[in-house]
Amino acid sequence: MKSTNNEYVQIAVAMCRTGILGYGGGPSVIPLIRHDAVTRYGWLTDDEFGETLAIANALPGPIATKMAAYLGYKLKGSGGRCSPCWRISCPAASR
């Protein structure tokens, strides 16, 4: 999937897939988010992901939405943080 240049599509697909496959709460989706962010798309390095995870753990609220919001913000600025949050939350809301 590295051939897709549209980062909005990439992050939407990644977060929707994570929201669908991540069963078991926030800690269960961290490896899925890491695989997409570091290995598949290369949005973050391992060190950046570790720092992001540490900050997300320190803040209150669901970790998956915080990670999704940060990835969207890092890729597309303040306008890009809403779509990933919505994509990762909707599959869980429909269960």
SS3 of residue 58 by DSSP: helix
Question: What is d(CA 48, CA 66) in angstroms, rounded to the nearest whole number?
Answer: 15
**Confidence (pLDDT) at 82:** 79
**1 is a domain residue:** no
Distance of CA 37 to the CA centre of its chain: 7
**Confidence (pLDDT) at 59:** 92
Residue 8 pLDDT > 90: no
**2 is a domain residue:** no
**Confidence (pLDDT) at 48:** 95
**69 is a domain residue:** yes
**Confidence (pLDDT) at 92:** 65
Question: What is d(CA 71, CA 73) in angstroms, rounded to the nearest whole number?
Answer: 5
pLDDT tens for residues 47-94?
Answer: 999 999 999 999 998 888 889 889 989 988 887 877 787 777 777 666
Structural domain including 62 reads: 7-93
**52 is a domain residue:** yes
Segment 33-51 shows an average pLDDT of 94
